């Protein structure tokens, strides 16, 4: 080996792997690179390595992995039938690149270059290009079946791109093994749309005279085109799966229906059970197994009397539907208590308590709009019950569909985008390891309820507008479009017209979400509803906590009616809950309520403070507001028709 000294110390910072795409204005002269390589192998402390740090890091890995620097060629990892098996396993990648490689084969003719496609293990699947160069590539096994992973043949474009997960360009003597130093190569990984998993590598190789910076850009562009073709194919397959699900839904009754793609990922679930959710991969699933064996490898709850139905597109299996009878579903864990925020049975208009003209008007409008899948903007002060109205509208349209709520003011600006649209692995610092769907995907097929919409940052508003207009979202860090169909209900306590005029809210987005609007009145404008709500909370909250209801006297009720309730229904509910939990006597005393609530009593206090009288007064007010219709009055009170009849009879007997 040469003893020429290369001045300067090794730059250890430059020797660390980096994640950005490496570009170099020109390759290092071959002789100088050769000297650097020789010094590196001898381990001389003064041997500087004046190369790009990706090459340095790769040399270090190659040496640590025990790669023989005198190697002449890559090993052959597959041939004959094993090549056919390998190609079948990577058939989607090959299919997505076929048209592109056919065009490149003509372009590369006479260019002294060749283009290769490998699997995720660095084994060559396809090679096209200049015939003379293809022949020369056979000498070093740069052919189908050749294994070019970095720990097998040291620094090279394919192996280094796989090792770093980034595009890599390796020229001539920068290669680690002697036998391949007469080649130059530029390679870029191909990633699976949606997951970011590396599926293979596109590589451009040729003699050193073909080196140019544009080769790396061409490799990257080719990889991106293959990814686009894969995304389009995945989209077509998913549409086919969802079409079959829609066809099957009317026949499954109360069973759970899952749809999985060819990778075992759940792309549809009717959400009736406690089985894995959207985007999750079934445990134990092996996509390389024949479709006939898929069902045998699935979790026990799916295999127990479940029905398995493969789905075909163009005579090839693109996924499967699995129907799980209700009796075989695993029990839901931590079922929400009735009346809690997570209880889906709350999604109904009969849970809205109120008999005042203002509330009846808002409820009637909501019932009218609920029949149409149009965006709704709900205005109202904090605590008036905007979400309860949104839940009721959702439940009347499709009780079983997802109802997803997101508070635009409850997350930092940096996280709102990820919360709404989801993210893929590594999209940002703190991203989950496997990525995560956002609220749009979780609400697909149902209702997305965006609270405090006026808090949405201005730079995220165009993304929301695009999602609503086109029905397509992109997870952060992803290029794969995802179709979503959601019914938007936006809520705000701001005057969005003022926000538009001030430049804090986009005018086009305002018109898009304000197709229809509802104003929920504040509690102080709901004449008579304070008594109804106190009676309701006194009973329901007491039952939830296992404590007895308390008696609200006439004087106390008069005080509470006169209060202006800045926190509205939420404030009233919290007050009743506090009085029930903290009180020791049957009667609630005026001095138990906060000082700022004590004021002049209202003139229309009922003659009695007994709970039964309060209840009777509430029932009669509801019947009057409903025009004598008992069913409507029961709905206003949040009880069944039979319960109202029973309580009316009990009140009349006294």
Two structure tokens written together for 356: 């005042």
b/e sequence 316-355, b meaning 16+ C-beta within 10 Å: eebbbbbbbeeebbeeeeeeeeeeeeeeeebbbbbbbbbb
Give the CATH class of 1-233: alpha beta
Edge to edge, the sheet with strand 487-492 lists 403-407, 447-451, 487-492, 376-379, 516-519
Sort 193 into a burial class: Cβ within 10 Å, 0-12 / 13-18 / 19+. Answer: buried
Asked if residues 127 and 137 have their Cβ atoms less than 8 Å apart, the reply is yes
Q: What is the pLDDT of residue 37?
A: 78
Q: Does the pTM of the predicted model rise above 0.85?
A: no
SS3 (DSSP) at 291: helix
Beta strands per DSSP E along 207-298: 256-261, 266-269
Q: What is the pLDDT of residue 650?
A: 63
CA–CA separation, 135 vs 433, rounded Å?
Answer: 43
- Looking up tokens 């025009």 gives 627
**Angle of helix 214-248 relative to helix 91-107, nearest 10 degrees?**
140
- Cα end-to-end span (Å), the chain: 112
Q: Please, which residues bridge with residue 5 across strands?
A: none
Sign of CA dihedral 612, 615, 619, 620: positive
pLDDT tens digits, one per residue of 270-321: 765 555 666 677 766 666 666 656 766 666 656 555 567 788 877 677 888 8
Sort 2 into a burial class: Cβ within 10 Å, 0-12 / 13-18 / 19+. Answer: exposed
Sequence-ordered list of residues with C-beta below 8 angstroms from that of 272, at least 6 positions apart, any chain: 254, 255, 256, 326, 329, 400
Sort 362 into a burial class: Cβ within 10 Å, 0-12 / 13-18 / 19+. Answer: buried
CA–CA separation, 28 vs 169, rounded Å?
Answer: 12
CA–CA separation, 483 vs 646, rounded Å?
Answer: 50
Sort 498 into a burial class: Cβ within 10 Å, 0-12 / 13-18 / 19+. Answer: exposed
Sort 298 into a burial class: Cβ within 10 Å, 0-12 / 13-18 / 19+. Answer: buried
Question: Which CATH number is associated with domain 344-521?
Answer: 3.40.50.300
Q: What is the pLDDT of residue 345?
A: 47
- Looking up tokens 């996280």 gives 415
CA–CA separation, 621 vs 627, rounded Å?
Answer: 10
Q: What is the DSSP string of 65-85?
A: TT--TT--SPPB---THHHHH
Two structure tokens written together for 475: 């997870």
Q: How far is CA 132 from CA 136, 203, 352, 440, in A?
A: 6, 17, 79, 53
Two structure tokens written together for 431: 């991203």
Sequence-ordered list of residues with C-beta below 8 angstroms from that of 370, at least 6 positions apart, any chain: 392, 393, 394, 396, 397
Give the CATH class of 524-652: mainly alpha
Q: Nearest CA to 439 among 489, 478, 372?
A: 489
CA–CA separation, 356 vs 532, rounded Å?
Answer: 10
- Looking up tokens 């004087």 gives 555
CA–CA separation, 623 vs 639, rounded Å?
Answer: 13
Q: What's 1-70 look like in SS3?
A: CCCCCCCCCCCCCCCCCCCCCCCCCCCCCHHHHHHHHHHHHHCCCCCCCCCCHHHHHHHHHHHHCCCCCC
245 CB neighbour count, 10 Å cutoff: 19
Vertex 151, ends 145 and 155: CA angle to 5°?
Answer: 90
Asked if residues 193 and 234 have their Cβ atoms less than 8 Å apart, the reply is yes
Q: Nearest CA to 466 among 497, 525, 504, 512?
A: 512
pLDDT tens digits, one per residue of 6-53: 333 333 333 333 333 333 434 455 666 777 777 777 776 444 454 456
Sequence-ordered list of residues with C-beta below 8 angstroms from that of 121, at least 6 positions apart, any chain: 77, 147, 149
Phi and psi (nearest 5°) for 403? -125, 110
Q: Please, which residues bridge with residue 453 across strands?
A: none
What averages of pLDDT result for each successive group of 10 residues across the chain (654 residues)? 34 33 45 74 58 78 91 92 89 91 87 94 95 94 95 95 94 92 95 86 94 90 92 83 74 74 77 60 68 65 63 78 62 44 53 84 88 88 89 72 82 77 69 72 88 90 90 85 90 92 93 92 91 88 86 90 90 91 86 80 42 60 69 64 69 56
CA–CA separation, 309 vs 258, rounded Å?
Answer: 10
Q: What's 295-355 look like in SS3?
A: HHHCCHHHHCCCEEEEEEECCEEEEEEEEECHHHCCCCCCCCCCCCCCCHHHCCHHHCCCC
SS3 (DSSP) at 479: coil
CA dihedral 196→200→204→208, nearest 10 degrees, is: 100
């Amino acid at each position: 080996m040469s003893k020429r000294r290369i001045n300067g110390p090794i730059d250890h910072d430059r020797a660390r792997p980096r994640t950005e795409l490496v570009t170099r204005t020109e390759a290092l002269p071959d002789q100088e690179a050769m000297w650097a390589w020789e010094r590196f192998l001898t381990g001389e402390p003064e041997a500087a390595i004046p190369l790009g740090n990706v090459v340095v890091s790769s040399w270090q890995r190659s040496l640590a992995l025990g790669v023989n620097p005198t190697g002449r060629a890559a090993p052959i990892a597959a041939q004959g039938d094993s090549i056919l098996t390998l190609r079948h396993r990577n058939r989607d990648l090959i299919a997505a690149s076929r048209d592109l490689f056919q065009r490149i084969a003509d372009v590369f003719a006479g260019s002294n270059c060749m283009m290769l496609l490998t699997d995720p293990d660095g084994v060559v699947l396809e090679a096209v290009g200049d015939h003379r160069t293809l022949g020369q590539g056979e000498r070093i096994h740069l052919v189908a079946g050749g294994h070019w992973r970095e720990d097998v043949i040291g620094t090279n474009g394919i192996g280094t791109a796989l090792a770093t997960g980034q595009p890599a360009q390796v020229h001539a003597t920068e290669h680690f093994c002697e036998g391949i130093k007469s080649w130059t190569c530029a390679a870029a990984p191909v990633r699976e749309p949606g997951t970011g998993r590396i599926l293979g590598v596109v590589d451009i190789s040729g003699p050193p005279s073909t080196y140019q910076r544009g080769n790396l850009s061409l490799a990257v562009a080719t990889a991106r085109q293959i990814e686009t073709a894969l995304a389009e194919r995945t989209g077509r397959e998913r549409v086919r799966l969802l079409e079959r699900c829609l066809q099957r839904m009317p026949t499954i009754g109360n069973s759970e229906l899952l749809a999985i793609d060819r990778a075992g990922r759940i792309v549809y679930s009717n959400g009736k059970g406690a089985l894995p959710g959207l985007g999750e991969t079934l445990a134990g699933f092996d996509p390389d197994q024949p479709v006939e064996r898929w069902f045998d490898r699935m979790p026990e709850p799916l295999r127990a009397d479940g029905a398995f139905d493969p789905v075909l597109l163009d005579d090839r299996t693109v996924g499967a539907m699995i129907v799980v009878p209700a009796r075989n579903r695993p029990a839901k864990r931590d079922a929400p208590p009735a009346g809690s925020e997570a209880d889906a049975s709350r999604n109904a208009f009969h849970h809205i308590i109120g008999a005042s003209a203002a509330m009846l008007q808002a409820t009637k409008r909501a019932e009218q709009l609920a029949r149409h899948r149009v965006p709704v903007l709900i205005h109202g002060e904090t605590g008036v019950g905007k979400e309860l109205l949104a839940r009721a509208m959702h439940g009347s349209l499709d009780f079983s569909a997802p109802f997803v709520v997101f508070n635009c003011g409850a997350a930092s600006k940096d996280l709102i985008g990820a919360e709404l649209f989801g993210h893929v692995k590594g999209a940002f610092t703190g991203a989950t390891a496997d990525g995560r769907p956002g609220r749009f995907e979780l609400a697909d097929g149902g209702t997305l309820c965006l609270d405090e919409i006026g808090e949405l940052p201005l730079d995220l508003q165009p993304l929301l507008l695009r999602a609503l207009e086109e029905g397509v979202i992109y997870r952060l860090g992803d290029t794969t479009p995802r179709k979503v169909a959601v019914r938007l209900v936006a809520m705000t306590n701001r005057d969005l017209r003022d926000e538009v005029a001030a430049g804090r809210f986009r005018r086009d987005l305002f018109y898009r979400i304000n197709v229809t609007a509802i104003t929920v009145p504040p509690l102080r404008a709901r004449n008579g509803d304070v008594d109804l709500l106190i009676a309701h909370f006194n009973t329901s909250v007491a039952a939830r906590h296992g404590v007895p209801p308390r008696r609200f006297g006439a004087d106390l009720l008069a005080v509470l009616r006169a209060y202006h309730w800045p926190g509205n229904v939420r404030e009233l509910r919290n007050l009743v809950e506090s009085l029930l939990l903290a009180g020791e006597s049957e009667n609630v005393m005026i001095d138990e309520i906060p000082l700022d609530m004590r004021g002049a009593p209202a003139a229309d206090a009922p003659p009695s403070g007994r709970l039964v009288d309060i209840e009777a007064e509430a029932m009669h007010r509801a019947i009057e507001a409903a025009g004598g219709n008992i069913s409507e009055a029961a709905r206003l009170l949040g009880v069944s028709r039979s319960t109202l009849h029973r309580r009316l009879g009990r009140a009349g007997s006294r």
